[in-house]
Amino acid sequence: DAIELEITEEHKQAMLKLFEQEHGKAYDWLGAAKTSIWFFPNHKEKWFCSEIISQALGLTYPRRWTPAGLFEFFESKGVIHG
């Protein structure tokens, strides 16, 4: 699923910079499994989708965010559109 968020130009530029720096890193399959099995460790050289979005937005503890957690967070802030 994809959701549309309103973000500032500053956030947009910070996200693009992070994505450029991290481009080419492997997908974190264990990170994906971790959303269901909490005891899997984080891999520091790989990203799971919600982790890199959380990092790019400057959220606290980005490696702890799940897709559902991000959705609930943005929904509670009233910034989900579409």
pLDDT (tens digit per residue) in 30-53? 766 665 555 555 667 777 778 888
Q: For residue 73, what are its two tokens? A: 């967070």
| pLDDT tens by residue, 47-81 | 777 888 888 888 888 878 888 888 888 888 877 76
Could you give the CA distance from residue 47 to residue 56 in angstroms, rounded to a whole number?
12
More confident residue, 10 or 2: 10
Does this model's pTM top 0.85? My answer is no
User: From residue 55, how far is each of 8, 14, 82 by CA, in Å?
Assistant: 16, 10, 23
Phi, psi of 63 (to 5 degrees): -75, -5
SS3 state at 5: strand
Question: What are the residues facing 4 on neighbouring strands?
Answer: 81
